[in-house]
Structures are given as C-alpha cells and as structure tokens.
Amino acid sequence: MYNNISKRDILIFPKFKNIDKIQEIRNKYDKLANLVPPHITLAFPFSDTISDEELIEKLSNLLITYKPFDITFKGISLSKDNYIFLNCVKGNKEIIHLHNEIYSKIIPSHLKKSFKYAPHITLGQSDNIIELKHFQYEFKTIVDEVSIELIGEHEESIILKNIKFGGSL
C-alpha cells in the first residue's frame, strides 16, 4: 500500500449526530481541523516496519472479540500543555481496554509507560478556555469500528482501513 515506515495511528472516528458542534470549536483552536475529522486516538502516531497488511490483519484479529459499545463525551478540560480536551464520560473502560490491547498485542515497542492514557477528543490548543465554558453539549454514539490512519506528508488523514468489531473487514 504505502511506505512501511510512514507514520500511522489507530483511531475511532465517532459518529455523533451533533459532531458539527465539535468541528466548530476545532476550526477555531485546532490547526489539524481540516486535515483529520474529530477522533479518539487509540494508538498515537508511530513509525514501524510492520506492513500495512500485517497491521490490518493483527488489528482485525484483535477486534474479532469486540462488540459495539456506547460512548458519551461531555465537558471540557485543559491539559498541562494547553490542549483542550472533550472528556469521555461513558465508555472509558472499553476505550482504555482497547488502547491497552493494541499496545500489548500489536505495537508493544511503542508504548510510553510514563504516559497515563485518558480517552478524549482533542479540540485544539489554547491557554484560555473561558469562552468555552458555555460548551455543555453532550455527544453520544455507538462505537463499532476502528480505523488505521496513514498520516500524509502534509499531516492529512489517509484511511488505510476501517475495521468493524467482530472481525468483519
């Protein structure tokens, strides 16, 4: 498919009915807003010699055991480095489990043990989120697939494969 040492990541692209509210904030605060849709990162960008085909096969085999689950996001927080996060309030356990399994079974050499993973959707970066206090929308959907993304040379999102839970490609 593509160069095997390109940067890839593994994401959930949630299908919220009101996702336009998220995109409005991202358009203002996130320089990647027009390059990648709102997403939950399961595996952060990594370069590895594993082929796209092998990565797809390994993730498909992992997802055979997964069933769709509900997620809800609501509320905003600011990280130490001024990233604005939309917080996960339902589905945390399932997302964390999936994240942990991807790192332990598929790309173990890329796990950063000093990092505590917390499911979120990045809305952008700012040192002032006072104007976002009114952003009290609730976002709900069912997660039933995971995407493998190739990060293009201009940081654009190129989807290599969307893989449904239950192992169906």
pLDDT digits (tens, 9 = 90+) for 121-162: 999 999 878 778 788 899 999 999 999 999 998 889 999 999
Residue 143 lies in a domain: yes
CA distance 82 to 49: 33
Domain-located, residue 12: yes
Around Cβ 135, how many Cβ atoms within 10 Å? 17
Ranges assigned E (strand) in 79-114 = 83-90
Range of the domain at 86: 7-164
DSSP run (H or E) holding 140? strand 138-143
Strand order through the sheet with 69-78: 120-125, 83-90, 69-78, 138-143
CA distances from 36 to 76, 106, 151 (A): 20, 23, 9
Q: Three-state SS for 13?
A: coil
Assigned domain for 52 exists: yes
pLDDT of 169 strictly over 70: no
169 lies in a domain?
A: no
pLDDT in tens, 27-85: 999 999 999 999 999 999 999 889 999 999 999 999 999 999 999 999 999 888 899 99
Does residue 115 belong to any structural domain of this protein? yes
CATH of the domain at 119: 3.90.1140.10
Max Cα distance, the chain (Å)? 45
Question: Which pLDDT does position 5 carry in this prediction?
Answer: 58
Virtual torsion, Cα 91, 146, 19, 83, nearest 10 deg:
70
Q: In angstroms, rounded to a whole number, what is the distance separating the alpha carbons of residues 113 and 72?
A: 27
b (16+ CB within 10 A) / e for 79-103: eeeebbbbebeebeebbbebbebbb
